[in-house]
Structure 1
Amino acid sequence: MNKTVEILPDLPALVARGLDLILSKLATAIQERGQFSIALSGGSTPKPLYEAIGNQNLPWDKIHVFWGDERYVPADHPDSNELMARRAWLDRVAIPAANIHAVPTLSGNPTVDAAEHEKHLQAFFGSAPGKFPQLDVVLLGMGDDAHTASLFPHTEALSVSDRLVTVGNKDGNPRITFTYPFINAARSVIFLAAGANKRPALAQVFAPAADDFAYPSRLIKPQGELIWLLDQAAGLELKP
C-alpha cells in the first residue's frame, strides 16, 4: 500500500485537489484501459467535488459510476446518495444511463438487493465469484465514529470478507455497502475528511495500534494507493 496524507488549507482547496487527482486518474485509466470506474461516497463533503466534475468536458461515455454504499431508500428519497450525485453531477452531463450503476434498493429485502448488485458488479468487471475486481477510484468519507461507506463500528458488515457487497447497519436501519476487501482491491482509494469534529477519529485511525472493529476506517488498506485529503481543521494534529 502506498499511503499519502495531504492537509489542505480549507474545504475549497480540498475539493480542488480531489478534482485534480480524479482527472489525472481518469486520463490514465482511459489511456491504459479504455474506461474509468469510480465509486462515489455520500455525505456533504463530496458534493462540491461532484459539482466540479460536472463542470468538466469529459468523455462521459467512457466513465462508469458506482456507489460505495447506499441508504436503503428509493432513488428519489432525500437521503439517497444516488439522488445527491445525480443533482450535483450526473443529471447535468451527457453520461449514458447504462454507465450509472446504481445500487438496487426496491426489493424490500436488503440481502436480496446486495446479492443482485454483487452479480451486476461481477458481470460488469468479468470477475469470477470470490475474486475482487479493481475499481480505478473509490472515494470515501469518514464519520465522527470512524465509519466509512456503511461499515459502522462493531457491525456484522466488518466481518464479511468473501463478498463484494453486503448489508450494513446504522442504528437498526439497513444500508447496502461495499465490503472492505472490495474497497481494498481498488487502484486508488481517496478519503475526503473535513472539520475539527473528525480529529478524535483520525487520531485512532492513524494510531500505530487500535481496534479495527471500533474504528472501521483502519480496515481500508488498499493494494493500490491510499490518499487522505484533509482540511486544516481535520488534520491539525496529524503529521503527514
Structure 2
Amino acid sequence: MNRTVEVLPDQSALVARALELILSKIDTAIQQRGRFTIALSGGSTPKPLYEAIANQNLPWDKIHVFWGDERYVPSDHPDSNELMARRAWLDRVNIPPANIHAIQTDEADPALAATKYERHLQEFFHSASGELPSLDVVLLGMGDDAHTASLFPHTEALKVRDRLITVGNKDSSIRITFTYPFINSARSVIFIVAGTNKRPALAQVFAPVADDFTYPSRFIQPQGELWWLLDAAAGGNQ
C-alpha cells in the first residue's frame, strides 16, 4: 500500500501541512487535467483547514467541490457539513455556484437522494454505470470508533461495493455517504486526525491484522496515494 504517515507537533502544524499538500495537488491537477476535484469531510478538525484554503489566491473557476458524506438534514441546519464548509470557505471566495456539488437532502427517501448524487457524479465525470471515477483528493476524518465518512462499524453501508453513493446510518441518524470502493478510486486520500481519543482506533487501523467491519477505516486502501496526517496527540504511538 502506498501509505504515508506524518505526525505533526500540534493541530496548527497539522493544518499547515494539510494545506501545503492540498495546494500541491491543486497545482498538479490543473496543470495535468485543467481542473481540480475534491471531496470534503465534516467534523470540527477540517474547519481551520477550510478557512486557510479560503485565504489563498486560487483559480476558483477550476476547482470543483464535493462532499464525502452528509447528514440527512437541511443545508442550513447546524449539523450540515455543507453549511460548515460554506461558512468556513466557499462563501468567502469567488467560486462559481456550479462548481459546488452539494448532496441534496430534501428527498423523502434518502435512497433516492443517494441515487441522484451518484447520477450527478456520473454525469460530471462522464462515467458509465459501474465505473468508478477518480477524484483528485478525498479528505477524510476518523472517529474514535474508526469510522470514516459515514461508514460506521458493522453497518450495511460497508457491504456496498457496486455503487458510488449509499445511505449510511449511525443509530437513528441517516447519512448519505461515499462507498469505500469510490473513495479508493481517488488519486489521493488524505486523512486528517487529531486528539488522544483516536489513538486506540488508529492502533487497530494500522495493525497488520484486525477486523475491517469493526474498524472501517481499514477499508480505505486507495489505488492512488494514502496520506495519514496526525497531530502528536493522535499519532504519538505511530
Verify same fold: TM over 0.5: yes
Correspondence 1:1-240 to 2 at 5 A: 1-238=1-238
User: Which amino acid in the other structure matches residue 59 of structure 2?
Assistant: P
Instruction: Quote how far apart the aligned CAs of 1:156 are.
Output: 0.1
Over 6 Å off, 4+ runs:
none
The AA in structure 2 aligned to 1:172 is S
Q: What residue ranges of structure 2 are gaps of 5+ in the alignment?
A: none
Q: TM-score, normalised by structure 2?
A: 1.00
> 2: CA distance between counterparts of 1:111 and 1:173?
14
Aligned length: 238
**Percent of aligned pairs with the same amino acid:** 78
1:154-178 CA deviation, whole Å, 9 max, x = no partner? 0000000000000000112210000
Instruction: Provide Cα deviations, 1:185-221, integer angstroms capped at 9, x if missing partner.
Output: 0000000000000000000000000000000000000
Distance 2:110 2:93 in 1: 30
1:213-236 deviation line (CA, Å, top 9, x unaligned): 000000000000000000001001
- Tell me how far 1:108 sits from its aligned partner: 1.6
Q: Secondary structure of the equivalent of 1:151?
A: coil
Q: RMSD in angstroms over aligned alpha carbons?
A: 0.4
In the TM superposition, what whole-angstrom CA distance separates every residue of 1:19-48 from its partner, at most 9, and x where no partner exists? 000000000000000000000000000000
Distance in 2 separating the partners of 1:196 and 1:148: 17
TM-score by length of 1: 0.99
Q: Which amino acid aligns with 1:148?
A: T
For structure 1, the residue ranges without an aligned partner over 5 or more in a row are: none
Letter in 1 for 2:199: R
Describe the SS at the equivalent of 2:22: helix
